[in-house]
Structure 1
Amino acid sequence: MRTKAEAERNKEKKKIYKNILIMFGAVGLLFVGLIGYGVYWAFFDMNRLPTGDYLAEETSPDGNYTLKAYVADGGATTSYTIRGELVFNQKRKKAKNVYWNSKEDNADIKWIDSDTVVISGHSLDVPNDKFDFRNQ
């Protein structure tokens, strides 16, 4: 038969093991989260795209936005890519990348209305939509 002291020790051991398990689980979850964010940042973040050479630009009918297109040459082993940058003309906001497509060396930009632009056949509702060929 167990004594009261043995029962208390077993209870303390279980409590310690539970706390250690929770701590390892939290550290593991944090590690996986950091690795996931690192992969996103390194390979999918549109703010890290190459700048490229200026190609063309079109301003929206109401003058609120300008879409500038740039062509980027990835070198001998990759094809040309087009980067579309949305510039906010009326607001003091930083320009943002809204279009990134590979195997293109020309951009056909047409504004449908004040908030809808078609870039080489891809329709975007600005300022919220983005097109990135890596996510297709």
Structure 2
Amino acid sequence: MKKTVITIISIILGIALVFSLAMLIRNYIVPVLTIANSQKNVQETFLCSSESPEGKFNLEAYRTEPGATVDYSVRVYMINGNQKEIIYNAYHESEAKIDWVDNTTVSINGKTLDMSSGETYDWRKE
């Protein structure tokens, strides 16, 4: 009887450990490695663009299409001529809502960025 209880507890703990490791890998390790290793190969779908009230800043938002094993993310670029700089990179998002608070402050999906100071948001640096 005692041996059976110990065996059942061992099986339950083993299943819990495997499940925990699987969730860790799925939610943290795979996205970071996939995005880090394939930054240039990730397909992006245009979502929207937005210009600051005075026209100083022009933003373009894209949803990344990384594949079956990684969730969507949203990237917002500041466009300066032919150059694009990522100012917003958020994982587990598929839409972009861009609202200008004033001429230099923008809210992207609820995150507020001061464009005049070069502020950016990247979920990997939280």
Shorter-chain TM-score: what band?
Answer: 0.5 to 0.7
Q: Which residue of the partner structure matches residue 8 of structure 1?
A: none
Amino acid at match of 1:59: E
Q: Which residue of the partner structure matches residue 118 of structure 1?
A: 107
Q: 2:36 aligns with which of 25, 38, 43?
A: 43
TM-score by length of 1: 0.59
Q: Which residue of the partner structure matches residue 66 of structure 1?
A: 58
Structure 2: runs of 5 or more not aligned: 1-34
Deviation (angstroms), 1:119: 0.3
Amino acid at match of 1:43: A
Q: 2:94 aligns with which of 80, 86, 105?
A: 105
Q: 2:123 aligns with which of 112, 116, 133?
A: 133
> Identity of paired residues, percent?
29
TM-aligned CA distance change 1:65 to 1:50, over 3 Å: farther
CA distance in 1, matches of 2:74, 2:42: 10
Secondary structure of 1:113's counterpart equals coil
Question: Which is higher, the Rg of structure 1 or of structure 2?
Answer: 1
CA distance in 1, matches of 2:85, 2:41: 11
Q: Which residue of the partner structure matches residue 87 of structure 1?
A: 79
Contact 1:51–1:70 (CA under 8 A) maintained in structure 2: no
Contact 2:71–2:92 (CA under 8 A) maintained in structure 1: yes
Q: What count of residue pairs does the alignment treat as equivalent?
A: 90
CA shift digits 1:9-61 (9 cap, x unpaired): xxxxxxxxxxxxxxxxxxxxxxxxxxxxxxxxx939xx858461110011100
Q: Runs (4+) of structure 1 moved beyond 3 Å?
A: 47-51
Q: Which residue of the partner structure matches residue 53 of structure 1?
A: 45
Q: Which residue of the partner structure matches residue 75 of structure 1?
A: 67
CA RMSD after TM alignment? 2.3
Amino acid at match of 1:130: T
